[in-house]
Amino acid sequence: MLGGLLTAPSNSPHLRKSGSKQVFSEFGELENGAEEGFLSPIEANDLKGVTTPVSTTAIMPSPILLWRFKVLLFFVWGFICCKIGWDSVMRMSVDLRDLFLYEAFLYYNPLLLVTMTVWLWGINLWFFSQSNVNYAKIFDLDQNHLSHREIWKCAKWMTIVVPSSMTAYLYLYSHGEVSLAASQPVLLYCAIAMILIFPFDIFYLSSRFYLLRTLWRIVLPLQAISFSDFFLADILTSMAKVFSDLERSVCRMVHRQVATIAWFEADSVCGSHSIAIPIVLVLPYLFRFFQCLRQYKDTGEKTTVLNALKYSTAVPVIFLSALKYHVFPDRWTNFYRPLWLLSSFLNSLYSFYWDVTRDWDLSGFTRIFKFSKPHLFSHMLYGRKWVYFWVIGSNLVLRCTWTYKLSAHLRHNYLTVFAIAALEIFRRFQWIFFRVENEWNKMNSKSNIQFSMNDIPNEEEKKLLASSEHNV
């Protein structure tokens, strides 16, 4: 009986982790040593020649170690990309270096900004989950919606693929492989478009189609506007520069001007003076403008008209700036430039006022100084007033600098414009916290009002209650 029918005790704290099963004796009962949690010396000697299976969990490294290893690989990969890219740029002549960087940056900076947006959106969702904000209910999402972990996974792959393609473009162009270099952004754009419209159940099919369906509803607001419709449309207004650069990049790909400098000429099809630039810049604001008109048609609320007026103030900023390339310099300096400055000032102040008083419901700044109403983020931030000072102050500054990005005649310094575009996305990232909080508070207040109304008895119930009390 002791010749190998017994195994190590099942209740051993060391062997339970390996998933070993209980082994019974030939009589069908557990031995005393296994029941008591230890083996006798004789049983231990008999088990010396027995090999027990080792679970894979016992030899797997810890999650923290795997995470550190991934971070190390990420930094090594980033260093390699930076080193190859820098060496490739230094190989070129000084005269062509700036033009080459400007062109390469034009193809990839929209995707870099989109990647940044996805990372920040994952942070938004993580914060909502930590503060018990039911964002799935707010945006009317199904059970298959992406969590913050899945959003970060998408952002991680975008962070790897986009700079890798950019590094390959720089390396191939600097080493004379112009045709191969020109294929890099084309392949990347085509791959992204294919992933978005891929009809099979991979790459988060339901979430991709939800995004495409919402974009279609934004472009053609022929139905009642939901919260997710105008919420995404507001985000698109902060990414107007992204769409403008995407249009210019696709235009060069269609006209086979990738990896050339002919496009930099003002009279070229996809040049910096193209009329398509202000048109694409103004489209997100027009989409939001027509959404507000649709809301006024459905609800009759006058505030939606005032909101539409806010988005209409961005139109003069964009087109007055574009006129610099189509009028005489004296005419621009004496007439159009003052109008552009005035329209920029009005748009910035109007948008700032609407953010604070309407979107965030901070009218009178009562929540900043008194915290008279308990709010979720006020509780999460422990009532720290400096957070609200920072959010309001930074929103005002970034609203004013936003006109720099919308102005076509100020786009010659592409690094500055990229930095301002990234700051605008960060401003929208801050805006999302308080906008979603405000919507969640409104939904809770409506549900509480409905619940209290249901508790109020009607006239018949009051009469029955009075009669029962009289009978008693």
Q: What is the pLDDT of residues 230-278, one digit of tens each?
A: 999 999 999 998 999 999 899 989 988 887 765 555 556 787 778 888 8
Q: Are 111 and 23 in a shared domain? A: no
- Residues 6 or more apart whose CB falls under 8 angstroms from that of 165 comprise 108, 184, 185, 187, 188
DSSP sequence for 59-95: HSPPHHHHHHHHHHHHHHHHHHHHHHHHHHHHTS-HH
Residues 312 and 374 in one domain: yes
Mean pLDDT over residues 330-341, rounded?
Answer: 89
Residues 415 and 321 in one domain: yes
Q: Examine residue 458 and state whether it is found in any structural domain, yes or no.
A: no
Instruction: Give 377 or 354, the one with higher predicted confidence.
Output: 354
Residue 25 and residue 150 in one domain: no
Q: Report the pLDDT averaged over residues 133-161.
A: 91
d(CA 406, CA 186): 26
For residue 472, tell me if it sits in a domain.
no
Together in a domain, 390 and 324: yes
pTM above 0.85, yes or no: no
Find all residues with CB under 8 Å of 405, minimum gap 6, and list them. 240, 241, 417, 420, 421, 424
What's the whole-number mean pLDDT along residues 149-171?
94
In tens, the pLDDT along 366-386 reads 544 444 454 545 544 545 677
Say if residues 408 and 316 touch (Cβ distance below 8 Å): no
pLDDT of residue 354: 93
Distance of alpha carbon 216 from its chain centroid, rounded? 19
Answer with the one of 17, 39, 60 that is the final residue of a domain.
Answer: 60
On whether both 288 and 407 belong to a single domain, the answer is yes
Residues 6+ apart with CB under 8 A from 374: none
d(CA 378, CA 437): 10
300 and 190 fall within a common domain: yes
Q: Count structural domains, the chain.
A: 2
Report DSSP letters for 344-374, one per residue: HHHHHHHHHHHIIIIIS--GGGHHHHT--S-
Q: What is the pLDDT of residue 8?
A: 45
Domain that holds residue 17: 1-60
Q: Are residues 169 and 198 in the same domain?
A: yes
Q: Domain for residue 110, yes or no?
A: yes
Residues 79, 172: one domain?
A: yes
Say if residue 263 is in the same domain as residue 216.
yes
pLDDT confidence of 110, banded at 50, 70, 90?
A: very high
Q: Is residue 348 part of a domain?
A: yes
DSSP annotation string for 417-472: HHHHHHHHHHHHHHHHHHHHHHHHHHHHHHHHHHHHHHHS--HHHHHHHHHHHHH-
Count other Cβ atoms within 10 Å, centred on residue 11.
13
Q: What is the pLDDT of residue 57?
A: 54
Instruction: From residue 427, give the alpha-carbon distance in Å to each of 131, 284, 300, 422, 434.
Output: 21, 17, 31, 9, 12
Evaluate if residue 40 carries a pLDDT over 90.
no
| Distance between CA atoms of residues 15 and 57, nearest Å | 12
- The answer to whether position 94 is within a domain reads yes
Is there a domain that residue 368 lies in? yes
Q: Are residues 239 and 119 part of one domain?
A: yes
Please report whether residue 469 resides in a domain: no
Does 196 score more than 80 pLDDT?
yes
Check residue 295 and give its pLDDT.
94
Verify that 191 and 53 share a domain, yes or no: no
Rounded CA-CA distance 34/45 in Å is 15
Residue 13, domain member (yes or no):
yes
**At which of 16, 37, 60 does a domain end?**
60
Give dist(CA 283, CA 286) in Å, integer. 5
